[in-house]
């Protein structure tokens, strides 16, 4: 009896079974409806006329700053090491220029790599909110790729600028998929997560890939993303940006040859991680196809932060706060500060392990040390490129001050570049207490550098490796970039 | 929390391990892995994805050049030789699998062979074997730092996490780096780790192994010229720990301590008989057994007799694919592999051709499949099983279960079958002399004085007209 009962039940199962696999197929979203596809469409369809004048203005400032920072970065040890590596491993390949090195050219991805390393070598490059260093991952790749393109079809300045902005936009969109991305990072270094994707997007556009190839470029890039925070504040950190630029370009080149990857890489598929592998919380949104009305780029709504000195963004708050205390002290007594006057120093900063270093031992660590930057600014009134030289770092007065610092993490000081503040409180030997506080440093997106200041920074940087005529020409070319017919006008001035 | 000294212990061990520590057990097992990897790689040079990687890699020029397996006419810059050969190894998902889960050899061997070709004095076979085992050992050690690693992955594809570290360690060994340099090689490699699982079952998956090989080699070379990373990279949660939800690292014992034992000694690898995800091997063996029962009872096997097929498998989304459209998806589909086995009474390299995938008879059979994931079926290559249950029109049920497929570490391939797999694979590209030469060299690798002889056999391709028959097999 039971066996016949079972037999009669089974056919129903069988019927369900017959249709279950079909239902499974239906349950999967149609290819066109995915977040991944929407990104591919955007990259291939957005047009130069969608760039508003504000976006053009802001992105040209980014391009200028990024080049300047890359040029001075070409004087660093880590850049030299990366360049030597590329030249030893690969023969001279006369294609893409290396920043600041007359006559030196490399294969496109290698040029993107070393120029990216240069850009981030001193932690002097731009920072956005949510946090990442967007330009260094994109510009070197777009430059290298432009060098690679045939002489009779070089991109115009506007095409170049559009590709650059796509690379920035994609990064911004991806970071908005998670709350985790809004705070100072703890796990993956953001440029290695979104930077590679931005580079892939920009290069895919410059290569005029169709929307499917653009999607695949992103998916291929996802398999090349992700590096741990522990390598920040080490000599390897600049390679994060170098690799983001290089690998994004590589992803686009592979996609152009037909390599395919996951069509759902940006979508959140339970049990099979795509791009969400890099985040604890992840809610993706499709990108709308740009219509005739246009598209509002994120750069329009959220400006960029530019650094005034080569150190982690968080340092700028304590440096400005300490500088104001320095001014008070100098007002009180003779022109220089003597550590003998200082009894103790309290810093009130957000909680973030990788920038809390009482006694940094290398320039890389010093650029990631609240204590070091506060004391340097207290001593000298400002932090500059020279503050990180071995001589400056080993000054006895500085070391004395460092030994008197203690760090506090007030609850209201959030580890978020949009909300944090820096407070420096100095107790003098006499008992007087001097306080400085900075909510928004000069250069932050709420208080942007003037064009004057930005150009001054650029001249100081670029002038270290280029003659002044080239420096001035670069300023002019970038200013005119959206009106230039052939981007070689830019490419030819970089070394 | 900073646990001191773990990264340091790895650097010290990589540096200190020498050929005296190689036991017979480890030598035997690793030689099998090397032979299998070469065969699988040679066959893989016929794939479309390999071709794309090769064309791309030919953009680069260099003075130092390394061989592309199975090509007498092409060389590439060493990093890109490691890349394309690694892609070849994983191109058909035919390479070895370990427990905890990863594909250890493909990330290491291509890097070592590419590197060896550039060294001013050629390493001996034993040097190569030692470096290879260092690369495998480091991967095994790292995977034991988390519970998450013991199950079929969901987030990061393991070869992209531990493979690049193994390649860096092996390359550092072959280069003779100092303990500190070995540690930095690992740190630099960590910044190249981690690719999401979503690209498995796509054409990009083989690049995970290719990139692991290439970037591990690069990390070692950067460390050699003095680049430094975080000296506590393995100790920190914000270091290598970022790739795992639970992370509990421990130091690697010094090789001269009596407590040192190679992981490979205790835990063997699985060698595949089918170019598909490891899980497919269980379902294929079960399907063949169930089919056998059906044939024995009913007589002539007729597909139309099948009303319904139930598969009982462990839960794993990326190998649950009811209707695969590409070869990559087919290699990651319980349903496809079960039905291929039922239809053809075997699953081979040829089963994954486009033509084979699109057969109406196969698709019809696929429509009859239902997948269940019983609670006791754990997504672990050490614990899973597969059951295939066929129900016929007459209402008869034929079921079979596979706990351990032939080729699994609990039931390793015989030496004869391993060599046979290699021969069949390698013959698609190499001449008979090349095939036999490789078997011979690997078989006696401990006594080979210069491993460049291996390279010359890997370049002994069969005559062009033989290869012309199938310039693109898949």
pLDDT digits (tens, 9 = 90+) for A203-222: 999 999 999 999 999 999 99
Per-residue three-class SS string for A166-204 = HHHHHHHHHHCCCCHHHCCCCCECHHHHHHHHHHHHHHH
What pLDDT was estimated at residue B277?
94
Same domain, B258 and B309: no
In the stretch 73-132 of chain B, residues with CB closer than 8 A to chain A read 77-79
Q: Is residue B433 part of a domain?
A: no
CB B138 within 8 A of CB B6: no
Same domain, B193 and B171: yes
Structural domain that includes position B342: 279-402
Q: Is residue B180 part of a domain?
A: yes
Q: Is residue B456 part of a domain?
A: no
Residue A53: is its pLDDT beyond 80?
yes
What pLDDT was estimated at residue A109?
95
**Using omega within 30 degrees of 0 as the cis cutoff, is the peptide bond preceding A130 cis?**
yes
pLDDT band at A25 (very low <50, low <70, confident <90, very high): very low
- HSE (side-chain half, CA atoms, 13 Å) at A99: 37
CB–CB contact A90 B77 (8 Å): yes
Same domain, B294 and B237: no
Q: Is residue B223 part of a domain?
A: yes
Which of A13, A231, A253 is most worth mutating to test chain B (most B CB atoms within 10 A of its CB)?
A231
Same domain, B259 and B284: no
Residue B461: is its pLDDT beyond 50?
yes
pLDDT band at B2 (very low <50, low <70, confident <90, very high): very low
CB-nearest to A85 from B198, B225, B228 is B225
What pLDDT was estimated at residue B474?
28
d(CA A41, CA B101): 36
Q: Is residue B474 part of a domain?
A: no
Same domain, B81 and B152: yes
pLDDT band at A331 (very low <50, low <70, confident <90, very high): confident
Pairing of strands B369-372, B386-392: unpaired
Q: Which tens digit of pLDDT belongs to each residue from B144-160?
A: 999 998 888 889 999 99
Distance between A12 CA and the closest CA of chain B, angstroms: 11
Same domain, B245 and B319: no
**Using omega within 30 degrees of 0 as the cis cutoff, is the peptide bond preceding B390 cis?**
no
Same domain, B14 and B126: yes
In this structure, what is the dihedral angle of CA atoms A191, A193, A195, A200, given to the nearest 10 degrees? 160
Rounded average pLDDT over B357-385: 95
Q: Which tens digit of pLDDT belongs to each residue from B235-272?
A: 999 999 999 999 999 999 988 887 789 999 999 999 99
Same domain, B19 and B128: yes
Which of B402, B429, B456 terminates a domain? The answer is: B402
Question: Which are the contacts of A137, defined by CB distance < 8 A and separation ≥ 6?
Answer: A116, A167, A171, A191, A194, A195, A196, A198, A199, A241, A244, A245, A248
Rounded average pLDDT over A450-478: 96
Q: Is residue B417 part of a domain?
A: no
Residue A26: is its pLDDT beyond 50?
no
Mean pLDDT over the full length of chain B: 93
Q: What angle do CA A467, A83, B106 make, to 5 degrees?
A: 155
d(CA B348, CA A285): 42
CATH of residue B299: 3.30.1330.120
Contacts of B365 in chain A (CB under 8 A): none
Number of structural domains in chain B: 2
Rounded average pLDDT over B172-179: 97
Top mean-pLDDT range of A8-12, A329-333, B212-216: B212-216
Same domain, B33 and B175: yes
Same domain, B25 and B113: yes
Residue A472: is its pLDDT beyond 70?
yes
Distance between B310 CA and the closest CA of chain A, angstroms: 8
Distance of CA B85 to CAs A140, B112, B189, Å? 29, 11, 19
Which of B353, B370, B402 terminates a domain? The answer is: B402
Question: Which are the contacts of B414, defined by CB distance < 8 A and separation ≥ 6?
Answer: none
Mean pLDDT over the full length of chain A: 91
Using the 8-state DSSP alphabet, how is residue A226 labeled? Answer: -
Residue B3: is its pLDDT beyond 70?
no
Long-range pairs, A486-489, Cβ under 8 A, ≥24: A486/A154, A486/A156, A486/A157, A487/A146, A487/A154, A487/A155, A487/A156, A487/A157, A487/A159, A487/A160, A488/A154, A489/A157
CB-nearest to A18 from B204, B228, B367 is B367
Burial A52-67 (b: 16+ CB within 10 A, else e): eeebbebbbbbbbbbb
Q: How many CB pairs under 8 A join A and B?
A: 224
CATH of residue B82: 1.10.4100.10
Distance of CA A129 to CAs A34, A171, B209, Å? 26, 11, 34
What pLDDT was estimated at residue A92?
75
Residue B43: is its pLDDT beyond 90?
yes
**Segment holding A96, helix H or strand E:** strand A96-97
Q: Is residue B257 part of a domain?
A: yes
Same domain, B392 and B324: yes
CB-nearest to B322 from A24, A222, A260 is A24
DSSP string spanning B334-370? HHHHHHHHHHHS---GGGGSHHHHT-HHHHHHHTTEE
Q: Is residue B418 part of a domain?
A: no
Residue of B nearest to A239 (CA): B191
Q: Is B390 helix (H, G, I), strand (E, B) or coil?
A: strand
Same domain, B285 and B262: no
Which of B344, B370, B402 terminates a domain? The answer is: B402
């Amino acid at each position: 009896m039971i066996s016949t009962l079972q037999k009669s039940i089974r056919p129903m199962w069988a019927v369900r079974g017959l249709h279950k696999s079909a239902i499974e197929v239906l349950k999967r979203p149609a290819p066109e409806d995915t977040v991944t596809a929407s990104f591919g469409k955007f990259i291939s369809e957005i047009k130069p006329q969608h760039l508003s004048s504000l976006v053009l203005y802001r992105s040209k400032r980014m391009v200028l700053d990024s080049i300047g920072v890359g040029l001075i970065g070409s004087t660093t040890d880590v850049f030299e090491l990366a360049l030597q590596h590329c030249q030893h491993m690969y023969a001279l390949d006369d294609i893409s220029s290396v920043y600041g090195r007359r006559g030196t050219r490399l294969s496109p991805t290698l040029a993107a790599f070393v120029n990216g390393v240069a850009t981030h070598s001193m932690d002097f490059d731009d920072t956005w909110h949510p946090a990442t260093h967007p330009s260094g991952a994109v510009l070197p790749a777009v430059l290298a790729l432009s060098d690679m393109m045939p002489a009779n079809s070089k991109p115009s300045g506007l095409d170049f600028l559009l590709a650059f902005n796509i690379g920035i936009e994609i990064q911004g969109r991806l970071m908005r998929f998670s709350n985790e991305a809004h705070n100072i990072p703890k796990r993956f270094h953001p440029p290695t997560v979104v930077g590679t994707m931005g580079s892939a997007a920009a290069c895919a556009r410059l290569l005029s890939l169709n929307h499917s190839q653009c999607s695949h470029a992103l998916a291929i890039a996802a398999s090349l993303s992700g590096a741990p925070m522990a390598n920040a504040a080490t000599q390897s950190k600049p390679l994060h940006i170098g690799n983001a630029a290089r690998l994004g370009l590589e992803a686009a080149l592979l996609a152009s040859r037909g390599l395919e990857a996951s069509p759902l890489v940006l979508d959140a598929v339970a049990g099979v991680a795509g791009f969400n592998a890099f985040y604890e919380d992840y809610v993706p949104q499709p990108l709308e196809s740009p219509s005739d009305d246009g598209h509002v780029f994120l750069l329009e709504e959220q400006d960029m932060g530019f650094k005034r000195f080569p150190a982690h963004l968080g340092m700028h708050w304590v440096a400005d706060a300490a500088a104001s205390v320095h001014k008070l002290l100098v007002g009180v007594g003779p022109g220089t500060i003597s550590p003998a006057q200082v009894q103790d120093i309290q810093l009130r900063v957000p909680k973030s392990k990788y920038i809390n270093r009482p006694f940094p031992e290398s320039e890389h660590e010093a650029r990631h040390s609240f204590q070091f930057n506060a004391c340097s600014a207290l001593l000298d009134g400002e932090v500059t490129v020279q503050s990180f030289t071995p001589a400056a770092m080993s000054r006895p007065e500085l070391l004395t001050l460092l030994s008197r610092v203690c760090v506090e993490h007030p609850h209201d000081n959030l580890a978020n570049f949009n909300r944090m503040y820096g407070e420096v409180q100095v107790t003098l030997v006499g008992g007087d207490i001097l306080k400085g506080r900075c909510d928004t440093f000069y250069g932050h997106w709420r208080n942007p550098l003037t064009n004057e200041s930005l150009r001054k920074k650029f001249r100081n940087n670029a002038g270290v490796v280029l003659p002044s005529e080239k420096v001035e020409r670069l300023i002019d070319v970038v200013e005119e970039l959206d009106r230039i017919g052939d981007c070689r006008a830019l490419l030819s001035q970089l070394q | 929390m900073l646990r001191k000294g773990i990264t340091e212990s790895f650097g010290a061990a990589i540096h200190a391990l020498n050929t005296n520590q190689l036991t017979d057990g480890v030598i035997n097992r690793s030689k099998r892995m090397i032979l299998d990897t070469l065969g699988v790689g040679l066959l893989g040079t016929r794939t479309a994805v390999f071709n794309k990687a090769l064309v791309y890699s030919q953009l680069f020029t260099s003075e130092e050049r390394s061989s592309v397996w199975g090509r007498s006419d092409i060389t590439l810059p060493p990093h890109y030789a490691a890349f394309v050969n690694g892609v070849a190894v994983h191109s058909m998902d035919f390479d070895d699998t370990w427990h905890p889960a990863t594909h250890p050899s493909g990330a290491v061997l291509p890097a070592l062979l590419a590197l060896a070709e550039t060294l001013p004095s050629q390493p001996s076979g034993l040097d190569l074997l030692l470096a290879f085992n260092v690369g495998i050992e480091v991967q095994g050690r790292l995977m034991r730092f988390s519970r998450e690693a013991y199950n079929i992955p969901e987030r990061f594809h393991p070869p992209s996490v531990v493979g690049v570290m193994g390649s860096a360690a092996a390359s550092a060994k072959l280069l003779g780096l100092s303990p500190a340099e070995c540690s930095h090689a690992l740190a630099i490699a960590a910044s190249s780790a981690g690719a999401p699982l979503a690209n498995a079952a796509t054409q990009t998956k083989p690049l995970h192994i290719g990139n692991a090989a290439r970037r591990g080699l690069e990390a070692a070379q950067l460390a050699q010229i003095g680049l430094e990373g975080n000296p506590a990279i393995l100790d920190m949660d914000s270091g290598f720990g970022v790739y795992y939800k639970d992370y509990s690292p421990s130091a690697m014992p010094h090789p001269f301590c009596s407590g040192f034992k190679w992981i490979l000694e205790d835990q063997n690898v699985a060698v595949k008989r089918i170019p598909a995800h490891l899980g497919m091997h269980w379902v294929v063996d079960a399907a063949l057994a169930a089919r056998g029962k059906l044939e024995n009872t009913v007589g002539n096997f007729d597909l139309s007799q099948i009303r319904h097929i139930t598969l009982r498998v462990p839960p794993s989304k990326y190998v649950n694919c009811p209707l695969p459209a590409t070869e990559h998806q087919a290699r990651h589909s319980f349903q496809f592999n079960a039905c291929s086995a039922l239809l053809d009474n075997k699953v081979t390299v040829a089963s994954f051709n486009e033509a084979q995938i699109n057969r109406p008879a196969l698709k019809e059979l696929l429509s009859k499949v239902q997948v269940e994931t019983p609670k006791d079926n754990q997504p672990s290559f050490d614990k899973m099983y597969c059951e295939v249950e066929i129900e016929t029109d007459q209402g008869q049920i034929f079921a079979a279960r596979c706990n351990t497929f032939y080729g699994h570490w609990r039931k390793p391939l015989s030496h004869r079958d391993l060599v046979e797999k290699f021969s069949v694979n390698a013959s698609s590209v190499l001449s008979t002399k090349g095939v036999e030469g490789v078997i011979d060299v690997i078989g006696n690798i401990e006594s080979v004085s210069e491993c460049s002889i291996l390279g010359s056999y890997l370049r002994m391709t069969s005559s062009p007209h033989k290869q012309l028959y199938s310039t693109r097999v898949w």
